[in-house]
Every structure is written in structure tokens, then in C-alpha cells.
Amino acid sequence: MPSTGAELVHIWNRCHACGAIPIIGQRFTCKTCPAGAGNDLCESCYRLFEQGRIEHPSPEAREAPLGPHVFRAFEGTEKEQALPWLAVPWSDGIAPKVLDRFVVRPEFRSGRESFVGSYGFAVAAEDGKAPVMLTALHVLDELAKFRGIDCFSNDTGYIARELPQQVTGVQLHDPFAANWVLAEFGSARNMLPLSDTRIPAAEPHSQQDIAAFRIDPSSPVQPVRLATAPPAVGEPIWLAVKPERNARERTTQAVVVEISRETFVFRFGSSGTLAIHSSGAPLLNRAGEVVGINVGGGMLDKQILGHAVHVASVRRHLGW
């Protein structure tokens, strides 16, 4: 339990009404909306929502499920627990090259319905089969809610049995193309039934937030190897996402600030920006190998943080 007088923060959450990040005090998360940046309210904005003075979902939300919208309150964690993340020294490195058709934007199909995800990427299989597309499980939360599947459930076996049956196909698009909607170049079909996956209720404990799909052998992807082990604290890593406007680099550098069986936290440089819709994107080491799946971002004392599923968890889930 937090000690008396401790400042409670929600590093990984932004209030979609007032824009506060981190949220301080109680946080109210909508259980009806898909997991993402648009389903949290700070306590003040939640009270205004109850009075009908602000909108939820926000007008710019990509998806707006029909109500009623049910919220759950979270108390937050002590700020002092995260301060060591800000003290890890910065470490420079030369960014690895990001190959074409390695990073993808997945479009999930469920019958006649289509749900666009943020990011995914192709990795070379170590079981002698076709390459695998990896992403974060919460990227599929809109589809899962549409089909009545609770990916936050503690019944992880239920997720592994039911969700793969609802995903009838995945179209792969090039996120680096000028118009990614028209830049389709491949597909994946079979969602692998990973029996220990779910969306975490408490970030950054996200080592179960993973989904995997077998890529069609005819798809011209360029898969990258998984690293053999996670990076150490203080090592540089790179998030591979679509560059900001007028930028050319496909990577944003960060430094690892915490690594454990349950966590993988990193801190971006002072020139970085918070990439809100980057879940499922790959994290690379100096050698260009995959060391993690991006899950979320946040901010503390004006420094940008991220957390991910590290490669040891990826290997455990895939049985590699």
C-alpha cells in the first residue's frame, strides 16, 4: 500500500480530456472502449464527465463503441518508485538499419469486419516453419471486444482457445509508405494459440501482452532474428516506427532503465516525442536483432518512458 502523503502517479496513462500526463491521483479507465490512449480520464475530468460537461469517448477517438461506458478506478503507484529510471546514464549508439517489409501495419479480419492495428513485425521462425508476425495482444482489443472476448481476463486459456478462432486473416501493409492503406504486400492467417497471454491491468508488468501469427510463405516479408537474451540496464535500444513528419530515420533511440522477468522499461532521449499509437512495434539492439515488442509509453518529470515485452518472454511464449 502507498505510504501516507506519497504522490501517486500513472506514468503510462494520459487523460484524453485535459491531456494531463502523467495522471496524478485517481485514474478512471473505460472498460468499454478498446485498450489505448483514449480510454483514461483523470479524477477531475471524470467528475466533469459524470456531470455531462465533457465528452467520452473523445471526439477524435478512432472507435466509439455504443454505451453505456463503464469505468474502473485505479489508485496509482508512488512516484519515488520510478525515479531510479531517470538516473540511468544515457548511452549513445549507431542505429541499426530497418529493412523494408520487416515492420508492418496489420489489418485484422474477423468475418466481414476489419480492424486496423498499430504495428507488427516479422521474425524468422526457429521451428523450421514460415516466419511469424509479432504484435502486442492489446492491439487486437477492439476485435476482441467486438466478439465478446475479455483479453484482460485471468483465464488465459480462454483467450488462447477463443480469440484465434475469431481472427480469420491478417493483411500486411507497409507503414513507411506514403499511403499505407494502398501499400498491401502480404498476409498472415493462423493466430498461434499462446496459452499464457493477456492484456495487463497494471503497467509496466506487460510480459503477457503478446500475439503471434504465422505469415503466409508467399508474402515477401524480410524477417529479422530474435536476440538470444534481453539487453542489460544502460544499453541503447531502438524503437522502429514510422518517422515523424519531415523526418527520415525509422528508429528512435532509447536506453534500458529496468529489466526483470516481469518488466522491460526504457527511456528516450531529450529530443524524443511520445509516440501514442506505436504498440506492437519492434525494439532492436545494436546488431539489429529484436529485443522486444513495444507495449506503451508515458512520461515522468518531462522525460519520456516506454515499456515492452522483452525477448525472453517472447521466446517463452513461442516455445523457442
What is the tens place of the pLDDT at every residue in 195-246?
999 998 788 999 999 999 999 999 999 999 999 999 999 999 999 998 776 5
Please name the residues in contact with 274: beta carbons below 8 A apart, sequence gap of 6 or more: 21, 297, 298, 299, 304
Residue 2 has a pLDDT of 45
Cα 141 from chain centroid (whole Å): 11
Q: How far apart are CA 206 and CA 32, in angstroms?
A: 20
**All three cell numbers of 184:** 498491401
Q: Which of 305, 287, 273, 304 is nearest to 231 (CA)?
A: 287
Q: How far apart are CA 281 and CA 241, in angstroms?
A: 6
Output the pTM of the full model: 0.89
What is the tens place of the pLDDT at every residue in 164-186?
999 999 999 999 998 999 999 99
Please name the residues in contact with 314: beta carbons below 8 A apart, sequence gap of 6 or more: 134, 210, 226, 290, 292, 293, 320
Residue 1 has a pLDDT of 44
Q: How far apart are CA 251 and CA 291, in angstroms?
A: 14
Q: How far apart are CA 184 and CA 114, in angstroms?
A: 14
Segments in the chain below pLDDT 50: 1-4
Residue 3 has a pLDDT of 46
Q: How far apart are CA 25 and CA 33, in angstroms?
A: 22
Burial of 231 (0-12, 13-18, 19+ CB in 10 A): buried
HEC per residue, the chain: CCCCCCCEEECCCCCCCCCCCCEECCEEEECCCCCCCCCEEEHHHHHHHHCCCCCCCCCCCCCCCCCCCCEEEECCEEHHHCHHHHHCCCCCCCCCCCCCCCEEEEEEEECCEEEECCCEEEECCCCCCCCEEEECHHHHHHHHHHCCCCCCCCCHHHHHHHHHHHCCEEEEECCCCCCHHHCEEEEEEEECCCCCCCCCCCCCCCCCCCEEEEECCCCCCCCECECCCCCCCCCEEEEECCCCCCCCCCEEEEEEEEECCCCEEEEECCCCCCCCCCCCCEEECCCCCEEEEEEEEEEECCEEEEEEEEHHHHHHHHCC
Burial of 146 (0-12, 13-18, 19+ CB in 10 A): middle
